[in-house]
Amino acid sequence: MKIINDSYLGADTRYSLIDLEIPENFNKEIIIFIHGFMGFKDWGAWHLVQAYFVNKGFGFCKFNTSHNGGTVEQAIDFDDLEAFGRNTYSKEIEDIQSVIKYIDSKKANWNGHLIGHSKGGAIAMIAGNQFEKIKSISTWASIASIENRFPKDKLLMEWKNKGVRFVKNGRTKQELPQYFNLYEDFEKNKSKYNLESLW
């Protein structure tokens, strides 16, 4: 079974794209791959990663998070800046739950294994401890701290007062918004999102 560019229903009832491949010699283990900040499922060499694991008998699922800025129609460039700006860690955790349900609808009797790249590594660490289906977690060049990614002191207060800050995408040259609700979500879940406590 090989599914390419299907859609799943993620956080805030937003549809996003998903791929799932199950080889004939399936070992009942499925890797769920989580992309990083400003990332997407078809970035870089992720198709080669998929091919490697599938050739070893693993199922492989990669997907776009629901608020990564892409859409079902335009998944690579950032067409939906509002969605990107409204993204939070909690929404990406919810996306993992939705992806697990999606896989359940396509395949019975499987164990899940998370691989997260960069920011996706943080999501893997948090989600891997929340869902029984997940049996292992691997991180590739993961961020070491969520809190340390945020601005401090004066810059943090400026972000709070304005309600939005902007980060530049080096590939598309867009100025991408991040609303202050991203930080508020972190503060609300600070103990759960302390990555050092999850190592």
CATH code 3.40.50.1820 for 2-145:
yes
When pLDDT is averaged across residues 9-33 and rounded to a whole number, the result is: 98
| pTM, full prediction | 0.95
Residue 48 CA to residue 19 CA, distance in Å, equals 14
Domain residue ranges of the chain, discontinuous segments joined by +:
2-145
Residue 197: per-residue pLDDT = 85
Q: For the segment 65-98, what is each residue's pLDDT rounded down to a tens digit?
A: 999 999 999 888 888 999 999 999 999 999 999 9
Q: Which one is predicted more confidently, 159 or 74?
A: 159
Q: Give the distance between the most distant pair of CA atoms in the chain.
A: 56
